[in-house]
Chains A and B, each alone.
Chain A
Amino acid sequence: MQLTDFVVPLIVVGIFVYATVKRVDVFSVFCEGAKEGLQTCADILPALVLLLVCVGMFRASGAVDALTELVRPLCSAVGFPAECMPMVILRPFSGSGAMAVYNGIAASNGVDSFAERVAAVLLGSSETTFYTVAVYFSSVGVKKTRYAVPAALTADLTSWIVCGAVVTLFFGAG
């Protein structure tokens, strides 16, 4: 048993209890929300098919392995699994693409491996930066986003180093 084992049950129970106190119709509101979740899954499926095929082809050809070996010296210098580099590069561009890359890493390195955990943390702690910037600024008709992209990418392109270090700290090096 770990402390993190409490997080999910506590959130579930906490929200239900709080909502009941606030006289929310938990059952019907939950179902309404769950339906949105179902919709999301259906919405991402076409993109997921395309991206899983593309990423899968790239992986099956052996090109990913070759590129991984290419960046391995740089990555191992900072304790980052080279297998996760495609994730760092693709994450700011495409959410479904990052999901596809994650799935490939989990399949070839095994779930609960160092590389798989690093990939999951990267996926969970970042956003589709270019998409977000585009949506937010196009909503107000601003084309020149000045330093928005550089500032956001400063975070995206340095957090992978932190990510490798943090996962090593919690789970040991791969």
Chain B
Amino acid sequence: MLEKLVPRGSTYAADIDLLFDVITYLVGFWFILVFGFFLYCLFRFRRKAGVKAQYITGETHKQKMAIEVPHYLILGCDVVILIMTFFVWHKVKIDMPTPDEEVRIVAQQWAWSFYHAGQDGILGTEDDIATVNELHIKAGTQYKFHLEATDVMHSFSVPIFRLKQDAIPGRIIYGHFNALDTVIGEWDIQCAEMCGYMHGGMGARLFVETPEQHAEWIAANTPDHLKTASIAATTTQESKEDAKNG
């Protein structure tokens, strides 16, 4: 159901959506049953002249079972939800797939800084690309993120990924995502934890790019003296082609 509201943008989004749907069906079933029974009672037992209410204690064995039995069924539903939850949670928050790329995310009042690994694909080297409020990632690539905060709590929330993680000052929190190529384009990143005056304006944009677009972006943002020969060559070639086509 969620995919109708927000597109699925990560490899684990479908799992979260499925769990959401399963809960919706189970809860929906019980809700309609109980709410319907409730309305039925209200209608059927409305006061009528000459009809006296019944004396029912709810303490006999049979009456107690009328309450108890549905609860074993509800407990069964709870167990189904729990088991599914454990799998989803493990996949999203506990499991850490081997990353192809890493990105460092730093939250502060009231902006996001992103440190992309740059053309060498290694974080913390000279060719890292730092941006403010713009995260550029390559679709179909397993990312590991390092989330930090410099002042207060923030929360890194990407609705299309179904991902959210608080950033805590003094700690580095790791997580992962892998964007689908169905969501190439520009998307919202929101801060999801109250962080003071401009919390309501602390957004960033997520650029999900094809490998070609991403390479171009890296090339455009890498100073010439840091470009390795091969990449420099490809970019010159590409720009020549562009010039030809243009």
Decide whether A and B assemble into one complex: no
Chain A residues packing against B (C-beta within 8 Å) = none
Residue numbers of B with Cβ under 8 A of A are: none
